[in-house]
Amino acid sequence: MNKPTTKELQMVRDLLTYIGEDPDREGLLETPARFLKAWSEYTRGYREKPEEILKSFEDGAERVDEMVIVRDIPVYSLCEHHLAPFFGRAHVGYVPDKRILGLSKISRLVEIFGRRLQVQERLTNQIADALDENLQPLGVAVVIECRHMCMESRGVRHTGTSTVTSALRGSIKANADTRREFLSLIGR
């Protein structure tokens, strides 16, 4: 991250003033710089490209035609409507077609799209589409379960509710048995 400009720091100071705070108060003196550093981290997905991490390989893929699943991947994102956090977990699976990925690449893919302003529905589809386009597997499945602070801490204030979204591609969408297998393996 580059050093924040005077203008960027002033924007955060203005926000503090807007909410009724004194940006010159001792506890807030370094807040503008810390805030900008944190937001750079929260939104680093804009600076990363999925295709750069989704390098696949044939070595190890011999006779692999069964589902590969990475479950319980942490998801941290920001609602694009309120800039409020939403968080939960993703379950991502694919059926290889002669090529496989390093397992950490699936988690990194979730992280790249999660670290952008999002709606959960788009996030789910972006992960599935990136896997489908870059790996060209026989099938892809993504299920994401998240709690949304825009719903829990404001508005209706229904705490503890979760939103579940799914995106299915190829054989996992077309074949009911394969779809059931995926859902069973992720515990749904």
Among residues 8, 21, 82, 136, the one annotated as catalytic is: 82
**Helical axes 6-18 vs 31-42, angle rounded to 10°:** 100
Both tokens assigned to 3: 């050093």
DSSP, collapsed to helix, strand or coil, labels residue 42 as helix
Among residues 21, 48, 150, 152, the one annotated as catalytic is: 150
Among residues 91, 111, 118, 148, the one annotated as catalytic is: 148
- The enclosing H or E element of 177 equals helix 176-185
DSSP, collapsed to helix, strand or coil, labels residue 145 as strand
- The enclosing H or E element of 165 equals strand 163-169
Among residues 41, 80, 121, 133, the one annotated as catalytic is: 80
Among residues 91, 118, 120, 126, the one annotated as catalytic is: 120
In sequence order, which ranges of 3-102 are alpha helices (DSSP H)? 6-18, 31-42, 50-53
- Please tell me the distance from the alpha carbon of residue 170 to that of residue 123, in angstroms, as a whole number: 19
- The enclosing H or E element of 75 equals strand 68-79
The verdict on whether 79 is a catalytic residue reads: yes
The verdict on whether 150 is a catalytic residue reads: yes
Among residues 79, 111, 145, 146, the one annotated as catalytic is: 79
- The enclosing H or E element of 150 equals helix 149-152
Question: What residue has token string 């750079």?
Answer: 40
Among residues 41, 81, 121, 133, the one annotated as catalytic is: 81
The verdict on whether 80 is a catalytic residue reads: yes
The verdict on whether 81 is a catalytic residue reads: yes
- What residues are annotated to the active site? 79-82, 120, 148, 150
